[in-house]
Structures are given as structure tokens and as C-alpha cells.
Structure 1
Amino acid sequence: MAFLLAALLLLGLCGNTISGGESPPTDTSGPLHFELPTSKYETPDTYKAGSIGALFQMVHIFLHMVQPNDFPEESIRKIIRKNFDLSTDYNEPENIVLVLKIAYYEIGIIICAFLGLLFIILVPVVGYFFSICRCCNKCGGKMHQREKENGPFQRKCFAVSLLVICVLISIGILYGFVANHQVRHRIKRTQKLVVSNFKDLRTLLNEAPQQIDYIVAQFNTTKVRAFSDLDGIHSLLGGGILERLKPKVIPVLDEIQAIATEIKETKEALEDMSQNLQSLKDGSAQLSSSLAAVKDSMQESLRSPECLLPQISEVCKSIESSLSLLESDPGLSSLPPVDKELENVNNVFKNDLSGLVQKGYTSFNDIPKRVKSQTTPVVAEIKNVLNNLGDTVNDVAKDIPIQDSLSEFSGRIDSVERQVHQKLHKAEEIDSYWWLCGLIVCFLLSLIVTFFYLGLLCGICGYDKHATPTTRGFVSNTGGIFLMVGVGLSFLFCWIVMILVVVSFVIGVNVEKLVCEPYANKKLFRILDTPYLLNKNWKYYVSGMVLKKSDIELTFEQIYSDCKNSRGIYSTLRLENRFNISDSLDIQKHTGNINSRFENMDVKLNGIVLLDEAGSKILQDFANSGIDKIEYSTYLAQSKKSPGKVNLLSFSYELEAKADHLPPGQLKESMKTNARTIRAIHEQQVVPMLQTENNLQQKIKILKHTSKGLSGKVTKILYALESVQHFITNNISSIIVEETKKYGRTILGYFEHYLQWVELAVTEKMVSCKPVATAMDSAIKVILCGFVVDPLNLFWFGIGKATFLLLPALIIAVKLAKYYRRMDSEDVYEDVETVPMKNMENGNNGYHKDHLYGVHNPVMTSPSHYQ
């Protein structure tokens, strides 16, 4: 059955091409990544025997000892070349040598089979004569036991030996039961495995067209991505050009924009500075007037007669001496104005440099739009070429020589499956007979060894060392009878069991050594791959069957290995010799037109002006506005000074303190009033002037920072602007060419990647023939070797060991039975004078008369020698 399945699968592999796989939809989002969907098969690609595998391995070790010779490859090749017919011309030297080689290879099996045949022939003959002798009271048939010095030791040795042998026989019987149990569920497991394998093969066939559709569908994914990039040419190509120019253009424009911002800030700062200067001048004049009024008032009060008094005159003189401090700082009024510089900056600001810079930004950022508008016709042409490429890919997919043979192979699978199921129904009936026969054999051997166990049990438990052979008890005598029953059953049935053992041994060992082992180490494939072996006209048989070209090296071993490794059917069967997909998917052949379109793409980006002459003039005018010539240090130094010569707030407090030393009166009140007036002047005039001075300082710092190196900065910007403008004018064409090639390579890269993936998928992954290798493994390695041969070998190994061990067991059982059975007569161990009178009067009390009168001259011993 297993041979039939394997042969049909091999025939299907040789005569047809196979496909497999799935084709689920592919997500077109994200990066382009193609991967053929993998198929899910039910049949496992490995087989494990489980815990019983250790027993199978033990049998394999024994087989290697029996048959250590290497696989006879040359002999098998010669037999195949002779069409397995060796019945003629035996006298030819070549045939004689071949027969001798086969005999040498089979010498271990022949010897074991010969020993088995001797067992089959001699055991019934010996049993026949042994039973005849026993019936004639020969060969120990006489129920008399002679006394021996070492009798107790022999009895114990026989019992222990028989027990050990029975244990070994029981282990062999256990092996037989285990092997027979494996047979019980073998057909069910085989049916499940066969259904699983054929389901996987149909899955392979059904999904093969979907894999082709999947490969073709991925072209649409690629085309969508390419069309998306073509539609986005403004951002890809135009953006690429923009990115190339940005490092040079943007910094210059940013610097000019910064200058435009500085012009505005300078204008504002100059306006604030001018206002602050005017405010300080006005405040200084008002402060001077207010302080003069206060000073006059105080002088008028000091002319009072009270100041002539001795106690008051010192205070008045002190106040009068401090009046010279009540004056404003004249430096604020002398600060020069900045009206001219402000006018120059205002004139620069009116020309709107920022607007001119924005025009430069716009001119630069419009590159993508200009690219898109100029490339619209070329993009349309490229799309048409890509659509035509899709038709080419469809044609190539149809030309792959896989689909043509799928329907034929599908029908062949149906035929094979029907035949296999028919054979399985017949095998199920044979399997039941085999199981029943094995069960009977195991139970028969179990019955024999059970009698031995019972004999040992009853004999040992019922033995009485004080009893004489004629007075042994019932239990001991029953043990001896059980042993003899076991011996009788052994003679009756063990030779029949050995026939089954020899037959199963010869079949099992040869199948294991000639099929299972060479299949596992692939030597069987090497024989089938021998040139001109299976067909005298074909060097390689598979090549002749599949490719119709027998010279191409396509072997069974290579096909099996490739299928085992899930390789695609295209490379496994060397289908490039029928259809070279590499030539059909040559990227240069399909993308040449597209490449030429990109090379002829004419993009012109003339007229990019970052800043015109008016803008350059604005920069020059700003540099010449004079803000860098202002004496900012003078302004800063003057603005840090107090508006008055003295701190009016402190002066007022000191004045009040001096007034407190004056006696009450008009003079005192006048001084107090003037002190309050001075504090009011400080709050209302000096404090605002101090704030104005702070604002003036800030504006001066801004202007000082802006004007520092202004001329050099503007010169540097103008030089950079001229350099960048020159670079754009002279190098824009080469940048466009480079970016166009890069863009073209990006578009073509999608299709190059797709076509390369198609070639890889078709040659290496598409239509993986792994289910075929799995089916072959299932047929030979699992069903034949795992389900049939291994249990068969374990069965004959266990039963054969048990049967061979029955020989020493029955010999020992016969000898041991004498020590347990009740004898009819026994030797006399005492003199006549010492025999009790009652015993002499009764001649039938168990003592043989001849022994009684010393006819046999027995050795004088005590009854303890029976122990």
C-alpha cells in the first residue's frame, strides 16, 4: 500500500509540474514590500514515534548487528538493468557474481533465517521423540528420582534460571503486545495521514493560480505607487531641486530679511531716540525754571531779620550755601539731534525691502509649480508606457509553463486517491487478521510462560524440605505438573510461532535495509538517479520526463531536497530550460522607453531672481544712512547722568532737617514749604526725565548694535547674493538633470524591484512543492517504515526472543519438575536393620522393594538430601 502511494506520487512528480501557495490581497500603503503568502498545510513534515521510538531504536541496533553491510547500490543497479529478472542464464559469470554479492549482503539475514528454519524443523521432531520416550518411561519419564549430593543446589539453580528466562520471555511478549497494539490503530492513522496529504496537494493545486494572480496584482500596487509619484512630481522632482538650492539660497534671503527687519527696528529706535532727546531738552529747561523759582523763594526768605539772630544765622548760612546746587544739568540741552539719520532711514524704509525679499522667496518657492506645469505631457507619456508594461507582465505570467499541467495533475491525484482508498479498505481487513494473529501468538506465549510462572510459584511455595519424593505435597506436585504442561505447550506451538517470526523477520529486515534506511540517507535516490538506468535512452530520467531533454542534470534527490526545503517548482524542475523568465523580465527591455522619456524631460527654470537692483540699492542706502557714525558713547554717558546737580529728594530732606533747627515762625514754615516744593519737582519732573533717559539708553544700545559693522555686513550680504545668483544662473541646468535622473531612478526602481521580486518569487518561492516531499515522506518514512516495518520488526524481535528462550526454559522446566512432582518410587537411604518394622511390613508405603533390599546399593544418606 505504502509502496503504491509513493510510486504514484513519484510518477506525478516526474510527469507533471506542481504549484502551490496563497494569494491574499496586498496592502498598497507603506513601503513597497512583496511577499508571497505562505500556505498552511495540515500534514506535519516530521514524524516522531513517541515513547515507543526507544524500542524501535533498539531493534535498529540489533538489525545493524545482523546486517552491518552497506547498501548494495551497484548490485541494485545491475538488477534494475536486468529488469529484475535473474531467472535465466544463472551460469553466466556476471550473474553468479551478482548472486554471490547479494548472498554476501544477506548473509546475516540468511544465517538468522537458517537458524529459525532449524528451530522449526528440529523442535517438533525433538518434541515428538521426547514425548514418545516419556510415554515409555524413558528420558526421565519414570516417576523415580535418584538422590544426588548437590540436589538442593541444582533445584535452586534451576528455579532461578527458569525465573530469569521467564522474565526475559515476558519482556519479549510485552514487546509483541506493544507492537501489536501499534498495528491496531495503524489503518486509522494511515487514513488520516492520507486524507491530510491529499488535502495538502489539492491546496497546493488550488492556490497556484491565486499565486499567479497575486504576482500580477502586485504590478497594480507598483503602478499605483509610481503614478502617485508621477502625480507628485512637483514635490519630488521640484522639491528635490528646491532642496538642492536651499542651503545656498535660503541663508542669503534670510539675512536680507533680517536686514529688512533691522531697517524697521532702526527706524523705530531712531524715532524714539529723537523724541526722547527732545523730551529731555524740554524737561531740562522746565526743571531749570522750576529750580530757579524755588531758589529765588528761598533767598527771599533768608533775607528775613531772623537770620541775623546769633542762634539762627548759622543755619541760614548753611541753607544759603547749598542753594547753588539747585540747578539742572546743562549737558542734556547740548546733545545733538539725529534728525538727519532718521530721515535717511525713513527714505530707506519707504522702499519696502521686505516686500522685495518676499518676491525672492516666491520666485524660489515656485520651482515645484513650474516643474509640474512643464512636465505634464511627459508624465502622461510615461503613464501610457507603464500601462503597456502591465500588459507585458500579464503575458509573461500566462507563458510560465505551470498552469498547463495543473488540470492533468489534479485528475491524476483524484485517480491516485481513489486507488489508495481502495487499497486501504483491503489493507484494513488484512490488518485485522494480522492483529488477531499477533494477539493469538502473544496470548499463546503468555499462556506457556504463565504455566512456568505457576509451576515456579506452586513448586517453591509447596516444597517441603522434610518430605521425601514420594511424600511431596499437592501444591508442589501441582507446580511440577504446571511446568510439564508448559513444556508440552512449548513443543506443540513454539515451532509454529517461529514460522511467523522467520517470515516477518525476512520481510521486515529487508524492507528496513533496502527501503527505509536508503530512503532516509537518500541512497535510494542516488540509485534512481543513475544515468541510463530507468531508460536506456535517457541520461537523466526525470529530465526526460519533465523537460524532454535527458541531458539536463535533474535528479530525484535534487527534486526531493528542493521540495523538502519549500523551494519553488520553477527552479526545482529547472523550468528555465522550457521558459527563461529572466529574459522575459529583463528590466532594461521593459524600462528602456521609460528611461528615455525621463532623459528627454526638458525642465527650464530661468528667471529666478532673489533680489533685484532696487533691493541692492536699498541695502547700500541703509549702509550709508549714517547711523554707524553717531557718537553713541556720548549719548549713553549723558543719559546716565542725573537731570539736576543734586538729588532733589535728599536735598529736600536735608532742608527739612535744617528747618527743624529754626525757631517757629515764618522762616521755618517757608523752608518747610520749599522742601515740599522741591520733592514735588522731583516727583513731577525729575522722575519722568529719568524714565526717558532709561528709554533713551535702550534705543541707543539697539542702534549701536545694529550699526556695528553695518557697512561690512551689507557688503558681505551683497557679495553672497551675487554669488548665489550666479550659481543659480550657471548651475540650475545641471541640478535639474541630476534631480531628473534621480527622480527617474525612483520611479523605475519600483518596477525594477517588482520585476526582481517576480523573478525571485517564480524561480524560488512560487508553487512550492513541499507537500509532494511531505507526501513521499508520509508514504515511505511514516506509513511504510513507521506504521508497518517498525512495529513488524519490534513484533518479531520480541516474539522471536521469547520463542528462542523457550528452548532453555523447557529443558530447565523438565529438570526442575522432578524436584516438585510426587514420585512413584525413591531411593532407600537407611539399612534394613534400621528400617522401622511397620515400614517393612507394608511394601506399598512408598519404598521400592528393590531399593528396600539394597539391590541398587544406594549411597547411605539422610532424607535431608532431598532438600
Structure 2
Amino acid sequence: MCVIFGVGGIIAIVLLVYFVAGLTAQRFICDPLTEPRGSRVFADVESFVQLERVLFGERRDPDFNLTAVLVACHDNRTLYRALALQRLYNLTELRAGTAARVAASVAALRTDYPPRGRPLRILSPAARRKLDRLADTGLSDFDFDRILYALETNMTSLSLDGLSSQLESTARALAPRGGFAEVARDLRSAAEHLARLHRDVVAPMLQRTAELNATASELRDVLRFNQSSLKEAIHYRIRDTTEVELFLNTQGPDLVQNLTRDFAETMGARLQEYLSMVTEAAERDVGRCGPLSHAFNSTRDSACRAVLMPTNGYWISLAWCVLLFVPLLVVAQKLARLYRHPDPYPGPLVEAYVPLALPQTHTHTYTHTRTHTSLHFIRLCIS
């Protein structure tokens, strides 16, 4: 009996230790992580770990703590809102500051150009006089078409290479005849001279003539500036320059200011649109805590619901078995004692006679005990 109670006591102590450890883990880890709001554990942790002071170096918002960050993360908010990063990077103030800097840049770009009171000149009077003198020169009356016509005509009235071939054929025809050998030799010498003249003189002249023709055509087109003559082209360009100077001196300052203002306003509007997009993305889209929350919940459920709670249930069941086993042992001991307690039978003794065939006479005495409501046969006495 002592051994049974000793072993049972040791088992009970082990079960108690496991039960206390499981209950402690459930109450101090799983329950606070499941519902951090109103948890004393989180309150005690937040008294030591001041998240606001760690992030911002100050203690200003009492509602900003680990519980608030965890709840915001479970609500699938962005990190910008969950960690209250607007206190470090206020995008609204950034937009206002950008608008102010753009306005300052616009004001700096407003220059007085062309300067009022001083007329702007593209061509100086000396340059105008030189252009007028160039227009009055004979270059504007240069007849390029005549040069081109002269260059396009043949350099010689006859083709020297053709004449050389004819002389060579005539010399070959006269050579067999008697008395014409010297004439044939002179004709062959003249043919060679004409061929050499065509190769060394006429052909290079034709090549240079073609190059001169291309240069004259290009010079004619360039000097005229798409006009009928160089003089007309110069006067046309001087007139255009005068009109440009007049426009810049009368409408130039306003035009420059308007262009500058339109450019600055357009760039400012694009910057504001971009900052609005960045602000909206940072507050609503970028860095959502949903995946992090799912990973956190999955880890917590795997540790608490899949491991800790079944373990606690198993050991609690064993603990109930041990707790019920102890009183059952006591009750069983009591029942065993009551079962084995003898009680004399109050009735008369009954003797039995053994048949004569037996070697000796045996007297059988039957004793009965009464336990509670039933009579049981206990012992047989053989005399």
C-alpha cells in the first residue's frame, strides 16, 4: 500500500508540474497573443518596453504601444499607419513644403529678359551693312547656269579613244601592202599618242569637270537660300531678323514670363500629383501587415492550439484519473476490510453424518458468516 501511494504521489507531482507549466504558458503566452487588448501581461511588458520612446525618442501618445501596433497589424493596415510613421515623415507637410519650394523657384525664374528699356538686337548695324554690301556684290548676279551648261558640253569635238581605234585598224590594214609600211607605222604611232592623250589628259579633265559641276550646283542652291538670287535671299533674311527683334522687344518679356510660369505650374502640378500618389500608396497600399499577421497567427495557433492545448488536456485527464484513483483505493480498502470481517451465525449447528462405508466417522460442522444482507459459506470443519 505504501508503495502504491508513493508511486502515485510521484506521478501526481510530475503531473502537477506539467499542469502548472502548461497553464502558465496558456495564460501568460497564448491568451495575451490571442487577445492583447486588456491583457495584464502586455501591460507589464509595455511598462518596460516603451515602443514610442524607442521609435520617436519621446512619450506623447499614451495610446501608442505594442498592443495598438499588434491590433493595427491584425487589421491589415500599412506599416506607415501601424507604426505612426507620420510623426517622422509627415507626407502632408512634405507636400506643402514642396509647393512652397516650387513657388520660390518660379519667383526666381522670373527674370526681366529681354530687359525693358533696352532694345534687343540680333544683328548689329555693322553686320547689317556687311550683309547689304554682300548683296550688292556681283556674286548675286553670278550665272551658275551658264557654268553648268559649259561644263556639261564635251571637252573635245571628237572622241579620242574612238579615233585612236580607227587609226589602229587602218594601220593594220595597210601593213601587208607594199610601199605602205611607213604609213602604217606613222598611223600606229599617232593612234598610241591619241590613246595616251585620252588616258592622261582628257579622262582626268572629265572627272574634275563632274566634281566642279556638283560643286557649282551645290553653291548655287546654298547661296540663294531657296530664293531666286543671293541678293533677294539676303534681304529676306534681314527682314526676318528685323521682325524677330521687333517681336522680342515688344512681346518678348511677357512671353518669357508666361512660358516660365506655365512651365513652373505644370511641374508643380505634376509634383503634387506624384506626392499625392506616394501619400495614398504609403497610407493604403504599400507595406500592408496582412502577410505578417497571417504568419504570426499561424505560428501562434501551431504552438498553442495544435501543441499546448492538447498537451494540457492530456495531462489534465491523467490528473483526474490520479485524483479519482486515490479515493477509489481508500474505498476499495474499506470494502475489502468489511468483506473479510467474520460475523458468527446465530442459528443452531447442523451436524452431518458420514456414511458407514467410510473408515471413520467424520463430523462435519458448517459455520456461516453473515456479511450485511447475504450469507456466505466460509469454512468447513472436518472432525
Structure with the larger RCO, 1 or 2 (CA within 8 Å, 6+ apart): 1
Greater strand percent: which structure?
Answer: 2
More helix by share: 1
